[in-house]
Amino acid sequence: MRIGVLMGGRSLERDISLRSGRRVSRALQELGHDVVDFDMDESLVPNLKKARLDLVYIALHGKFGEDGTVQELLEILGIPYTGPGVFSSAMGFNKALSKEVFIRNGIPTPPFFVLSEATFEEMGALAALSTAGEKLGYPLVVKPVAQGSALGIRVVEKDADLPEAVRSALHYDDRILLEKFVSGTEVAVSILGNDELEVLPIVEVVPRGGFFDFESRYTLGATDYYCPARLPDETARRATEVALKAHRCLECQNLSRVDMIVDEEGVPMVLELNISPGMTESSLLPMAAEAAGISFTRLVERLVELAMEKYA
């Protein structure tokens, strides 16, 4: 087929997207496809229309690539694409909305509050921060509502540090989450499929710095990974069930990666759902696939097959 690989863009995750996209592009060429690489810029639409593509592989991360924007554009152009659709993308990228859906469907997720930049500027919400901190308890996590790769996230240990963490997070998005910090084992559960779903081996993430931030994710040797995760069988089964429920609640197709914390009592708590996981050498989805005996090239081929199946 003639496949376009969409990568780069102008999000803060541009460099990671380029790494993912170039790796995917090489795999597609190895599979014998006619591959055209696209960087997301103001010439994207005319270039897509000229290319006469059978499929677009979305290797974008972050804003515009994971939030339903480019998915909506491809729907308008009538070009099939990999990954979940507009609704799933928009909901998954917005941590506040997805957590509300999880709560309403009985999926465990850490307690949280949401505040917007407007509430600070026009309603004096700064005076409510201490109350929010008291209700959630310390430590707590401050994170942008719509951002990926742990950008803008801080763990706050005491009330005095909360305003600065909030200001920092607001540089990445105009809405922030204040979320209860949960001690436990951080894991990622990757799911492939449309109607019939396959759960890949669970990846356990152990950052040497104590927190899985941007540097821990993309700096060689900064994090230890265990796949399959070192979880008791019953806990692993529960984590799988929770991930599948989250995947279905957001109506995902093709794939998702559900990131969660298994707390000290063995309860899997969903942090977020990713609809366009990284495909770099250190990314969690390819790592889980490899543990299942699926090579990177075969993983890319499978995602192409699932995308075409969705549009058949």
Question: Which residues are catalytically annotated?
Answer: 13, 149, 218, 257, 259, 272, 274, 278
Looking at residue 171, its amino acid is: H
Question: What SS3 class is residue 210?
Answer: coil
CB within 8 A of 142, min separation 6: which ones? 153, 154, 156, 162, 165, 166, 168, 169, 176, 177, 178, 179
Tell me if 179 sits within 8 A of 132, measured CB to CB.
Answer: no
Q: How many residues does the chain have?
A: 312
Distance in angstroms (rounded) separating the CA atoms of residues 226 and 291: 10
From the list 289, 262, 293, 264, the residue with the least C-alpha distance to 277 is 289
Distances in Å between the Cα of 171 and the Cα atoms of 6, 51, 153, 175, 176 are 26, 37, 11, 10, 10
Tell me if 79 sits within 8 A of 55, measured CB to CB.
Answer: yes
Cis peptide before 228 (omega within 30 of 0): yes
From the list 255, 154, 156, the residue with the least C-alpha distance to 212 is 154
Token digits of residue 241: 């069930």
Distance in angstroms (rounded) separating the CA atoms of residues 18 and 275: 17
Distance in angstroms (rounded) separating the CA atoms of residues 309 and 312: 5
Q: What are phi and psi of 227, to 5 degrees?
A: -140, 115
From the list 233, 236, 247, 150, the residue with the least C-alpha distance to 190 is 247
